[in-house]
Chains A and B, each alone.
Chain A
Amino acid sequence: MSILDVKNMHKSFGNTEVLNGVGFSMEQGEVISILGSSGSGKTTLLRCINFLERADEGQIYVEGNLVFDAAETKNRSAAQIRKAQLNFGMVFQQFNLFPQYSVLENITLAPKLLAKERGDFKSNKKEIFSEIEKNALELIDRVGLAEKVNNYPCELSGGQQQRVSIARALALNPKILLFDEPTSALDPELTGEILKVIRALADQNMTMIIVTHEIGFAKNVSDRIIFMDRGVVAEEGSPEDVIDHPKNERTKEFLSLVDRK
């Protein structure tokens, strides 16, 4: 069974049709990179998948369960949407760390707040919190920031901030991790450290959707490439097929214009 099924997503902003029937599905442990020219709707697709935008048409299934259906007349409750949202982790282009919190606090904030909803929270608060902190410290170590645990985001480089934001997303154990151009806001010499972290996650079988302009990285890390054009999936397939032997005219044109390093 696929872990994620996205069906026939449509989304317009005013008169601009941004998504025009996008659909795909993915398996547990799969890594998909989404490529496409600026304005083709990649960000909008990710935002519709994790409920930052509401699609006008389409359905989303996670592990076969319907979590979103634009046709539903009754809006789902905020609590239901939150629950569905937690299937996904999101890494933003601009990191969006919380500036007033230390690295550790950035990562433990949401798990600690969510733990309050657990039935055994009152009686086990201490153990639950120390478990959360232990887990956060492990994640910080995994992204190579062990010596920055108590630093604030403003004291970190862009690459370090982005690694914190990856650890923050992982702390909630999402089923699927979404990345929207995770290296675009970084100096070229810092992109490598992020790509290394993502590569390691791929090796640990994390299910990921990565919107990126790093063609070489996409080819190297992905099981499958989706090429988007004007709100539809123009071409999809293995990295070798889509990147080395594109069939679609728009894909060819796009690849001829970008740096393929």
Chain B
Amino acid sequence: MNAWQSLLNGFGVNCMLFAVTLVLAVPLGLIITLGTMAKFKPLKWVMKTFVWIIRGTPLMLQLFVALYAPGLFGHPMSSRMTAALIALVINYAAYFSEIFRGGIESIPVGQYEAGQVLGLTKVQVFFKIVLFQVIKRITPAMGNEIITLVKDTALARVIGITEILMSASRFAASGVIWPLFASGLYFLAFTALLSALLSYAEKRLNYYQG
């Protein structure tokens, strides 16, 4: 198999990890946000501790834990891919949840009160007034995380996933160095595309200030 082809196959794995993580980490992050903002103190405390642990330890370690920890409880992880996805989704959900929380807390209380005195329900206030403002405020921070996620998918190789860097380093081990550099081009192209999409979104959201 030629090197370009095997790099492309590897990058397909990175893209899959990226897409699945993004799609699952956003809703999970929202759930975690609700937990960390809960009025019920024990739930809030548990969720905050959870976020602290995930954000305070290396993603690489979390990948190992996702792969090996189930085995300690008598249920060995059957699929490395599942382990990689679990670690990535949980890790990114924790980071996203902090961004969501910051965004929600940055909306002035007057916005909620104005909605309330106009007879809107709590649900209407959130979906019709607050949510859009939160999205606008968190788009730059989410953009940064999303770009970082593209690159973090390469970490999956530490638990034996054949993603692009793994493929490239196999060539390097046999003395062919260039695929290693070529793999960087894939990342650059993908992040350039995402950056363009994100700055388009930011521009669209900038029709008002504040």
Instruction: Show the binding face of A for B, using Cβ within 8 Å.
Output: 50-52, 78, 82-83, 85-86, 88-90, 92, 94, 96-100, 109-110, 113-114, 152-154, 165, 168-169, 172
The answer for the CA separation of A165 and B132 in the assembled complex, in Å, is 20
User: A98-B129, A154-B209, A154-B210 are contacts. A109–B110 as well, Cβ < 8 Å?
Assistant: no
Q: Shortest 5 CB-CB distances between A and B: which pairs? A: A110-B118, A96-B114, A96-B110, A90-B117, A154-B209
Q: Of A86, A88, A94, A100, which contacts B208 at CB under 8 A? A: A100
Inter-chain contact B117/A99, CB cutoff 8 Å: no
Distance (whole angstroms) from the CB of B47 to the closest CB of chain A: 26
The answer for the CA separation of A88 and B108 in the assembled complex, in Å, is 22
Q: Is B40 an interface residue (CB 8 A)?
A: no
Q: Of A83, A85, A99, A114, which contacts B116 at CB under 8 A? A: A85
Distance (whole angstroms) from the CB of A73 to the closest CB of chain B: 22
Secondary structure class of chain B's binding surface, majority of residues: helix
How many residue pairs link A and B with beta carbons under 8 A? The number is 65
Inter-chain contact B121/A78, CB cutoff 8 Å: yes
User: A98-B129, A100-B208 are contacts. A52–B119 as well, Cβ < 8 Å?
Assistant: no
Give chain B residues whose Cβ lies under 8 Å from the Cβ of A172.
Answer: 118-119
Max count, chain A CB within 10 A of own CB: residue among B111, B113, B136, B208:
B208
The answer for the CA separation of A83 and B119 in the assembled complex, in Å, is 7
Inter-chain contact A109/B208, CB cutoff 8 Å: no
Inter-chain contact A89/B208, CB cutoff 8 Å: no
Q: Is B128 an interface residue (CB 8 A)?
A: yes
Give chain B residues whose Cβ lies under 8 Å from the Cβ of A52.
Answer: 113, 116-117
Inter-chain contact A154/B119, CB cutoff 8 Å: no
Give chain B residues whose Cβ lies under 8 Å from the Cβ of A96.
Answer: 108, 110-111, 113-114
Give chain B residues whose Cβ lies under 8 Å from the Cβ of A98.
Answer: 111, 114, 129
Give chain A residues whose Cβ lies under 8 Å from the Cβ of B209.
Answer: 99, 154
Inter-chain contact B133/A85, CB cutoff 8 Å: no
Give chain A residues whose Cβ lies under 8 Å from the Cβ of B55.
Answer: none
User: How would residues 125 to 162 of chain B score, 1 for a CB under 8 Å from any chain A CB and 0 otherwise?
Assistant: 00011001100100000000000000000000000000
User: A99-B209, A99-B210, A100-B133 are contacts. A110–B119 as well, Cβ < 8 Å?
Assistant: yes
The answer for the CA separation of A172 and B115 in the assembled complex, in Å, is 12
Q: Is B207 an interface residue (CB 8 A)?
A: yes
Inter-chain contact A99/B120, CB cutoff 8 Å: no
Inter-chain contact B110/A94, CB cutoff 8 Å: yes
Additional pairs, 6, CB under 8 Å, beyond known A85-B119, A154-B208, A165-B114 = A97-B114, A98-B111, A100-B208, A113-B120, A154-B210, A169-B118
User: A100-B136, A109-B128, A113-B128 are contacts. A82–B121 as well, Cβ < 8 Å?
Assistant: yes
Give chain B residues whose Cβ lies under 8 Å from the Cβ of A110.
Answer: 115, 118-120
Which residues B93-128 have CB closer than 8 A to chain A? 108, 110-111, 113-122, 124, 128
